[in-house]
């Protein structure tokens, strides 16, 4: 797969395994929904979650984008990651993921409202994993 085919594969799918190295013990892996914005992969998470803490500590992460069809095809990406404190971006990401999960547009009433003075809302972050990486993404096709 060339770079454009990898980007297309990522844009056409919606689930991945998000992996990071724990401080101690084996790596952590979570299946998550994601969406894309340009060449960024966006995953919504809470700042208090281990995923967000690991990204803040390590500034990198790995994902394995899943095809969800048999025979299994997947694409491994790894590289720089960062937390983004833009709350509107988080809400947009959550709405887009909700639309992906439901298979239909969400009505405006379903869009979460937020009050940045509320401590529960201030603690939310979105995690961005960039597709542009100094390390070459790995593509694995299983047939």
Mean pLDDT of the chain: 77
pLDDT at 33 over 50: yes
Provide the pLDDT for residue 129: 46
Those residues whose C-beta lies under 8 Å from the C-beta of residue 49, and which sit 6 or more positions away, are none
Q: Are 121 and 115 in contact (CB under 8 A)?
A: yes
The model's pTM:
0.75
With CA atoms as reference, report the closest residue to 43 among 132, 133, 128, 102: 128
pLDDT digits (tens, 9 = 90+) for 100-109: 888 888 887 7
Confidence of residue 69 (pLDDT cuts 50, 70, 90): confident
pLDDT value at residue 47: 77
123 DSSP 8-state letter: T
Domains delineated in the chain: 3-141 (2.30.110.10)
Which SS3 state, helix, strand or coil, does residue 87 take? helix
Look up tokens 């995923």; give the residue. 51
Q: String of b and e for 108-129 (b: at least 16 CB within 10 Å)? A: eeeeeeeeeeeeeeeebbbbbb
Least confident of 94-103, 113-122, 125-134: 125-134
pLDDT at 133 over 60: no
pLDDT band at 132 (very low <50, low <70, confident <90, very high): very low
Instruction: Report whether 137 contacts 80 (CB < 8 A).
Output: no
């Amino acid at each position: 797969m060339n770079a454009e085919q990898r980007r297309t594969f990522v844009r056409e799918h919606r689930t991945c395994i998000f992996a990071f190295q724990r401080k101690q013990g084996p790596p952590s892996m979570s299946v998550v929904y994601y969406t894309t914005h340009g060449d960024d992969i966006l995953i919504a998470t809470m700042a208090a979650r281990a995923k967000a803490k690991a990204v803040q500590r390590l500034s990198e992460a790995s994902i394995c984008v899943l095809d969800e069809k048999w025979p299994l095809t997947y694409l491994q990406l790894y590289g720089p990651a960062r937390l983004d404190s833009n709350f509107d971006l988080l809400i947009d990401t959550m709405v887009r993921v909700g639309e992906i999960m439901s298979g239909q547009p969400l009505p405006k009433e379903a869009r979460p409202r937020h009050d940045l003075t509320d401590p529960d809302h201030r603690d939310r972050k979105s995690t961005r994993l960039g597709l542009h990486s100094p390390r070459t993404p790995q593509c694995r096709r299983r047939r």
